[in-house]
Amino acid sequence: MPELPEVEVVKRSLVDKIQNSIVKAVKINDGRLRYRVDKNKIKKIIGLKIKKISRRSKFLLFFFNNNSVMLVHLGMTGKFFFINQKNTKYKTSFYYDINEDKDKKHDRVIFHLSRNQKLIYNDVRKFGFIKFIKNINLKQNLHLKNLGPEPLEKKFNFSYFKQYIINKNRTIKDILMDQKFVSGLGNIYANETLFFSGIKPTKKVKNLSEREIRKIIKFTKKILSKAIALGGSSIKNFSSDNGKKGLFQQYFCVYGKKGEKCSKKSCGSNIIKIIISNRATFYCDKCQK
């Protein structure tokens, strides 16, 4: 599943390609996604302009000029393709290289846009979804209302962190993965953040020092920013709109490194893999206390 940096790269690709385009028609090849696509609601965006595209956590939001919002979650294998007026196809997503024969059968929804352009929602496993809501109801939406602050925003700070963990007996890895605490942070970046912070994933949050809290915040922001700048992580061949693969996976220090030597030259220990809350967790027992 794509994490915040990957979804942010997708968002930026879409902004560059289709923001301010007008929806001319919509074709639903298969609306049986995680939630069935509402044919009546999706038809109502025909003739409307895509005024803005934004991201909240791992969700994409398309704002139209009638105050409606298309909420998209990419699930495990959801992705967007963009086709320009010259019929050239671009990736704005991840997982696969463009393959016309294989892609076509998984094209679920096709948005015909102004200037003879198209936006295709493609989803192999159909765990993603497309929903429509009113802008006025956005903050109360089931998928959005309980999300914590964005990790790159100022609201994710020391005061917020310290207050949130009071009387909590959970592990730091578990709480970093909790979207109610901080939104969009997933397994890859939680592992990497804790490595650079020098904190063992199983450490209870009630035992964190103020210095450790500040380090977690610092490295969360630093690592996510670097991942976005590098185009995301090429898990399953993630690529941005220009076809360049994400490079951040080249900088992984612990994620997926079970049994390998710690990247710190002065260490020499091997990376350990355990399971926390049903998620693979990687750490160095020597560097992370």
Question: Which sequence positions are flagged as catalytic?
Answer: 2-3, 58, 279
Instruction: Report which residue type is found at 264.
Output: K
Q: What are phi and psi of 51, to 5 degrees?
A: -75, -35
Question: 273: which DSSP letter?
Answer: E
Helix, strand or coil, per DSSP, at residue 16: helix
Contacts 24+ apart (CB under 8 A), 251-256: 251/226, 252/188, 252/192, 253/192, 253/195, 253/196, 254/191, 254/192, 254/195, 254/282, 254/283, 254/284, 255/187, 255/188, 255/191, 255/192, 255/282, 256/282
Q: How far apart are CA 76 and CA 127, in angstroms?
A: 6
Residues with Cβ within 8 Å of 137's Cβ and at least 6 positions away in sequence, in order, are: none
Are 81 and 90 spatial neighbours (Cβ–Cβ below 8 Å)?
yes
What's the Cα-to-Cα distance from 116 to each of 14, 83, 112, 119, rounded to whole Å? Answer: 16, 9, 7, 10
Q: How far apart are CA 164 and CA 148, in angstroms?
A: 11
